[in-house]
Amino acid sequence: MSIKQELLDRLSNRQAVVGIVGLGYVGLPLAVEFAEAGFHVIGVDVTADKVNSLNRGESYIGDIPTARLKPLVESGYLRADTSYEALREADTVSICVPTPLLKTKDPDMSFVVQSVDAVAAICHTGMLIVLESTTYPGTTNEIVLPRLLTNGFNVGEDVFVAFSPERIDPANPKYGVRNTPKVVGGSTPACTEVAVALYSAAIETIVPVSDPTTAEMVKLLENTFRAVNIGLVNEMALMCDKLGVNVWDVINAAKTKPYGFMPFYPGPGLGGHCIPVDPHYLSWKLKALNYTARFIELASEINTAMPEYVIEKVTNALNDDCKAVRNSNILVLGVAYKRDVDDVRESPALDVISLLTRLGARVSYHDPYVARIRLENDEFMTSTPLSDELLNSLDCLVIVTDHKVFDWQHIVDQTRLVVDSRNAVSNLTGQARVVSL
């Protein structure tokens, strides 16, 4: 029996041990799905707090309730470790580590390189290694494969390698790991076959593509599509402001067209782990080929400037009240990058707070999901409790993140001036004067 067939059989009868590297918003939900599918799962993360929490059956990810995680841990189907040595017994390893940008907007591949090197050190015959971290086209061939080939393995015969981009959308009530189609591209047809067998055991729909580079490009197209369209609608908001037109009315009317239009909405800027970051991976790769990704660069320019546009709105609104930004008491409402999550990575709220602080405002924030944030000077700011006394004392409240838990009518009733970057209160009437994008 071939090595490939032995692994396929182990996957089919759930005897295979599944390894997950990185137990964050991508890795933990994936680990839970595999454990629920009947696999014994070993998670590895360098953060001891995450490992200890998981081994106690306590979830630290909003999309995974403790009530769902705990039975899997107690039954022995899911456990975690800080050492890659625990993966020696694994038959498959899915790498789900961060891929941030450097300050120069070049890819920071250090987490991927460290993880692949660690996996290569414990890799054995018959193992499947899948990279899930979003990255530039060619990463699997240029970083993963060479490190495995130093062990003398024949890819597609001794070991199997694939890329399968994560498609996690935190706080999405409809689509999770199981019912979101999974793209898989193997380094050889045999690699694709094995990777499809792994993921089809826990995910409803698998979409095989020809190779890892194609799979890498799929993810970048998805998020570049969103970044460019958000950039377009943000520029539309700027143009509507110049023309004295309500951009929200324009969008709401346009989306009644049953074909050829998909609504996107303006906001204070891009945030999160994907949309502000991923297109730059593609742009960086193309620069090496002497090609400028013009749509990506332009969209980034527009989206990056949106926090400054919000500050302009705040400044003008305060001027209308015969007040300066300096020494004004301003509350930023919501600092997470999107509604109903606790993630502040790349959040435009951080830029809004920074810009207001530089202008001399007395800035505080409230976010029920984010207890504290790190500012650009490496100091911390903690969330201020929302009270009537606070709302009544404000010179301006700036809505950056429209969490569902907020009582918008009460906020409008208790506040004098609201700058609304999310169209959260435009249809409400109360004491507040509301200024929208």
Residues 298 and 352 occupy one common structural domain: no
96/229 same-domain check: no
Q: Does 59 score more than 90 pLDDT?
A: yes
Q: What is the CATH number of the domain that holds 246?
A: 1.10.1040.10
What integer is the mean pLDDT of 128-140?
A: 95
The angle subtended at Cα 105 by Cα 100 and Cα 109, nearest 5°, is 40
**Cα separation of 190 and 155, whole Å?**
9
Q: Based on the domain organization, do 281 and 174 belong to the same domain?
A: no
pLDDT of 156 reads: 95
Exposure of 206 in the CB half-sphere (CA atoms within 13 A): 19
Residue range of the domain that includes 408: 305-436
Whether the pLDDT of residue 61 is over 90: the answer is yes
Last residue of a domain, one of 210, 229, 260: 210
321 and 353 Cβ atoms separated by less than 8 Å:
no
Indicate the Cα dihedral angle 139, 111, 223, 345, nearest 10°.
-170
Contact 419, 398 (CB under 8 A): yes
pLDDT at 304 over 90: yes
Q: Residue 437's pLDDT band (boundaries 50, 70, 90)?
A: confident
- Kindly state whether residues 176 and 187 are assigned to the same domain: yes
Here the tokens at position 207 are 């979409």
Query: What is residue 104's predicted lDDT score, i.e. its pLDDT?
Result: 79
Mean pLDDT for 369-391 is: 94
Banded model confidence at residue 120, pLDDT cuts 50, 70, 90: very high
Q: Do 430 and 405 belong together in one domain?
A: yes
Told to judge if 191 belongs to the known catalytic residues of this protein, a careful annotator would answer no
Start-to-end CA distance of the chain, whole Å, equals 65
Q: Does a structural domain hold residue 190?
A: yes
Identify whether residues 181 and 282 lie together within a single domain: no
Contact indicator for 121, 153 with CB cutoff of 8 Å:
no
Q: What is the pLDDT of residue 225?
A: 96
Average pLDDT over residues 148-162: 92
Chain mean pLDDT for the chain = 95
Whether residue 412 sits in one domain with residue 369? yes
The H or E element spanning position 356 is helix 348-358
Average the pLDDT over 83-96 and give the result: 97
Boundary (domain end) residue, out of 303, 328, 343: 303
131 and 279, same structural domain?
A: no
pLDDT band of residue 333 (cuts 50, 70, 90) is very high
Q: Is there a single domain that holds both residue 290 and residue 312?
A: no
As for how many domains the chain has, the answer is 3
Are residues 230 and 194 located together in one domain of the fold? no
What pLDDT band is residue 376 in, cutting at 50, 70 and 90?
Answer: confident
pTM: 0.92
What's the pLDDT at 426? 87
The answer to which of 190-194, 210-214, 424-428 has the lowest mean pLDDT is: 424-428
Is there a domain that residue 215 lies in?
no
Find the mean pLDDT for residues 136-143. 94
417 within domain boundaries: yes
- Same structural domain, 65 and 185: yes
- Rounded to an integer, the average pLDDT of 251-278 is 92
Q: Residue 173: inside a domain, yes or no?
A: yes
> Is residue 123 in a domain?
yes
Helix%, strand%, coil% for the chain, nearest 5:
40, 15, 45
One domain, residues 285 and 413? no
- Please check whether residue 320 lies inside any domain of the structure: yes
SS3 392: helix
Please identify which of the residues 123, 191, 274, 396 carries the catalytic annotation. Answer: 274
Please say which residue of 210, 236, 257 terminates a domain: 210
Write out the H or E segment, with its range, that includes residue 418.
Answer: strand 417-420
CATH number of the domain encompassing residue 390: 3.40.50.720
Distance (Å, whole) CA 311 – CA 325: 9
Q: In angstroms, rounded to a whole number, what is the distance separating the alpha carbons of residues 157 and 167?
A: 29
